[in-house]
Structure 1
Amino acid sequence: MDILIGILLILSFLGMVYYCIKGYNLMVGFIIMATLWTILPIIGHLISPQAAFEGMSITDILGVVYQRAPEKWGPSLINIFLGAFFGRILLNTGIAATIIRKSVELGGDRPGIILAIVNLITGFIFTSMTGAGSVIAIAVIILPILFSIGIPKVVAFFSFTGSVAAGIFLNPINFAQYVAFFANSNGGTEYTYTTYFPFGLLAFFVMITIVSLFATFYLRVESLTYSWAATKSSEVTEAPGISLISPFLPVLGVIVFKLPVILCFILASLFALGVCGEITGGFRAVCRKISRIFTDGVKDTASLVAFWLTLAMFNDSAVFAAPYFEQVIGGIIPTSPIVLCLLFGILAPLTWFRGPMSLIGSGAALLAVVSATTNYPTTFLYPLFATILIGMGHFDITISWNAWGIGFNRLNTREYMKVALVPGICIALVLEIANFLINNPL
């Protein structure tokens, strides 16, 4: 009976893969999967008792999945909201736009140098900003400038999406989102941003370097086509020079001064508003302004909140499903750390279209199986999965801002995928090997 339940769970996993590839709603998908991965193990336990259910009634099991799992997300949601609030401030004050324009000016008339500088600055900006709205807001500033100096659209967009992904490697808000997948892995609850930071910093610079090198190579084989003259919009605010350090303050506060993430976002937000002259008009006016910006930030993340709450349900249901997976495929999953790392690097393209290697999709089920069969610590598992999720998966055309950019800029989808494929695999392999060398669990 255990093997039969395991086979049914595997079939549900394959169904989730198909569901994700077809682009259906992931929030609904995770609720369905959480229900299947709760009911089937309960049935199996009633027939043949499992240690994972010891001392628990059916009501207790349902409470774990549908009540306590989402409740555990409370602290992380606050981090997400404050991060989105700070991102909105960077946009509204013109700080992000000013940084981008100055980085382009610094590169002069050399497209390769401009791309490298813009990639680095964009990456740093997205160590603090997050969400599709923020990415699109920066894209509409930077892409026309890059197009106007002769950089082919597909190269400019590949370079931009790669630099955004590099920033996500260091973004504490994205870390809080992704680490939730590992709550039930060995040491998952103790894995902090500070512990992860050295690997995240390495991943940031590896991705910026590889994306810039490939973009420069593509420039050599592509003919430059001048689209339109770059002009400075009169509607864009020129932020004061001192404000340009704002995007870097939250990460600096967390890593250097060991301050809480929420406090860092609050202090950085007040600093940005203050130096940009936005704290004026009296106490009531300032309160209304801050409230409005915070509301806009929460709106930016509303759909993500629903997604992560249902993900928490699926995450905890995987604990009950894991013993049955082990019965069927426990001997198939590689247990050698170096084999796992190389396999993940080679199979990184399977993160596209929310495929079986993508955590934001059916890869969450794969994590449950790998965690249960290897029992490796989160210090190894998180970089193992995050490397391909960010380094390769963020070139995926189904990601909201990528889908927008391809349509808005009238890019050829296949051409963009061809441009991103090899660099993505290179990034994944380099970082997976680094993960083995730095975090080898054996």
Structure 2
Amino acid sequence: MIAIGLLLIFLVFATLMFMRKVPALLALPAIAVLIAALARLPGTDILNTIVAQGSIKLAPVYVAVFAGAMMGRVLIQTGIAEEIIKRAAEFGGERPLVVAFGLMLVTVVLFTTLQGLGAIITVGSLVLPIMMSLGIPRKLAGVLFLLAFATGFIFNPILFTLYRQLLQLPESQPMPGQVMTFAFILLGLMMVAVVTYALIAARRSGEMLLMIATPAEEAVKPERGKRVPLIALLTPVVPLILFFGFNAFGIKLDFIAAFIIGSLFGVITTNYRNAVKTVTASAIKGIEDGAPAAILMMGIGMLLNALNLQPIKTALEPLIVSLPFSSALFYIAFFGLLSPLALYRGPLNIFGIGVGLFTIMFGTGVLPAIALLAAIMCVVQVQNVCDPTNTHNVWIANFVGVRVEDLTKETLLPTVLVCVVGLIISALLFL
């Protein structure tokens, strides 16, 4: 009976999100409260255990979000992000294909660090007009930018901090090396998919504009003002170098510390005289940029607590344990073919209802922890690129003038293929 109630709750809210009647920021807390009520939790316990305790359950995640958003604002306010994009455009010169792929590569690098809708708007407002000036069709430009963003986001701290929570790693323990290895494998798969998609889509358009267009001079060769020092262009990768470098030697370094160091590096190498002013302004704007993600994390924490209630776990655990996850074929088929269930905050969405399902799966031990995390990493790519409820999908679609569902239709097949191939590799490595 509880399982049927959970299904109905999901279907109702998935429909409301699909119809854009309720945003995910409100849907997740509402689902959590309804699930708690379904488990017959008293009203005061719902307020205390689900709402109050749940809202702070993922505090380390959204503190990392704020730290990363602050650094994103440093990159924007100091002109580092814009300078990197301009240099990529200038490097391509009169070769539109080189310019397009150069901009996509820059987008990948930037979003290993950047996060939040503010960063998407800033980078997209620079990259998309240049790509469209090359003659790339508007929808294709939006898809390429979206794919490049999601490729870089594989290494974004929001995900890695959440992965630590799912693995329940002690604060002193570094991230397992297998996770880093698989992240690089997934990065390679996404880059192959992005390049292949770009070439096929350009030919499919029948215009070959990607290959022969003459770029607008003013778009790819902006006026030269005060250039950002070359060393400052390393700022986006400083947190990654620190994080992965320390972890490689078995030393736990939190992303929050890495971001703070990266922010200081950015302001000192560009304009150290205004360092205090820049960092202060970036911190304030970063909190504003990170607020939607933080509120979403609060809802996820509430949902986690609700789905961990004993009556809910008692209802779901037998269903999960009964599935033959020990079979590599079932593992690949379940997470690969069903990966579209990550859309609309569905049952495989780590930023939606799926977080509770995955938590129960970690608890029951139906799969080795690393194999389950690798599956989540694969499915996250489908969600991050294709989910129409993502704010970045909505903004990109509006900017290039297409329906957000059109981006989903264009990207679903390539990202599902990446997911399936990633799962095959994961099965070989971890099962």
Task: Give the TM-score category using the shorter length.
Answer: 0.7 to 0.9
CA contact (8 A) 2:132 2:141 kept: yes
Q: CA deviation at 1:189?
A: 3.7
Q: Which residue in the other structure is 1:302 paired with?
A: 291
Where does structure 1 lack aligned partners over 5 or more consecutive residues?
44-56
CA pair 390-109 structure 1, distance change in 2 beyond 3 A: same
The one-letter amino acid of 2:308's match is: V
- Correspondent of 1:218 among 201, 204, 207: 201
Gap runs ≥5 in structure 2: 248-252
Say if 1:351 and 1:393, in contact at 8 Å, map to a contact too: no
Structure 1 residues 348 and 6, CA, compared in 2 at 3 Å: closer, same or farther? closer
Deviations 1:305-331 (A, max 9, x none): 122112112102212212112356753
Q: 1:316 aligns with which of 288, 300, 305?
A: 305
Match of 2:250 in 1: none
Q: Confirm or deny that 1:268 pairs with 2:262.
A: yes
Q: C-alpha distance in 2, partners of 1:354/1:72?
A: 19
Displacement, 1:178? 5.8
How many Å separate the matches in 2 of 1:434 and 1:22?
37
TM-score relative to the length of structure 2 = 0.85
Q: Is residue 167 of structure 2 the alignment partner of residue 144 of structure 1?
A: no
**SS of 2:273 mapped into structure 1:** coil
Moved more, 125-134 or 232-241: 232-241
Match of 2:216 among 229, 233, 244: 229
State the aligned residue count: 414
1:425 to 416, 426, 431: 416
For residue 404 of structure 1, report the CA deviation from its aligned partner.
Answer: 1.5
Matched, 1:342 2:333: yes
The CA distance in 2 between the partners of 1:373 and 1:260, in whole Å, is 28
Alignment of 1:1-400 (within 5 A): 4-23=1-20, 24-42=22-40, 63-177=48-162, 180=165, 182=166, 187-189=167-169, 193=175, 195=177, 196-222=179-205, 223-224=207-208, 229-231=216-218, 232-234=221-223, 238-258=227-247, 259-277=253-271, 279-280=272-273, 286-320=275-309, 321-327=312-318, 331=322, 336-368=327-359, 370-371=361-362, 375-400=366-391
Supply the distance in 1 between the matched residues of 2:195 and 2:339 (Cα, whole angstroms): 20
| CA distance in structure 2 between the aligned counterparts of 1:227 and 1:405, rounded to whole angstroms | 24
Mapped partners of 2:320, 2:342: distance in 1: 21
CA distance in 2, matches of 1:313, 1:179: 18
The separation in 1 between residues aligned to 2:14 and 2:3, in whole angstroms, is 17
193 and 120 in structure 1: CA distance in 2 versus 1, 3 angstrom threshold: farther
CA distance 1:348–1:327, change in 2 (3 Å): closer
In structure 2, distance between residues paired with 1:131 and 1:85? 10
Give the C-alpha shift of residue 134 in structure 1.
0.1
Q: Give the superposition deviation at 1:394.
A: 1.8
Match of 1:48 in 2: none
Call closer, same or farther: CA 1:87–1:273 in 2, change over 3 Å.
same
Map of 1:47 onto structure 2 = none
Q: Distance in 1 between matches of 2:19 and 2:360?
A: 23
* Alpha-carbon distance between aligned partners in 1 of 2:318 and 2:410, rounded to the nearest angstrom: 41
Q: Structure 1 length normalisation: TM-score?
A: 0.83
- Which whole-Å deviations, capped at 9, do the CAs of 1:386-412 have from their partners, x for residues lacking one? 312224542333321221121222135
Describe the shift of the 1:368–1:303 C-alpha distance in structure 2 as closer, same or farther (beyond 3 A). same
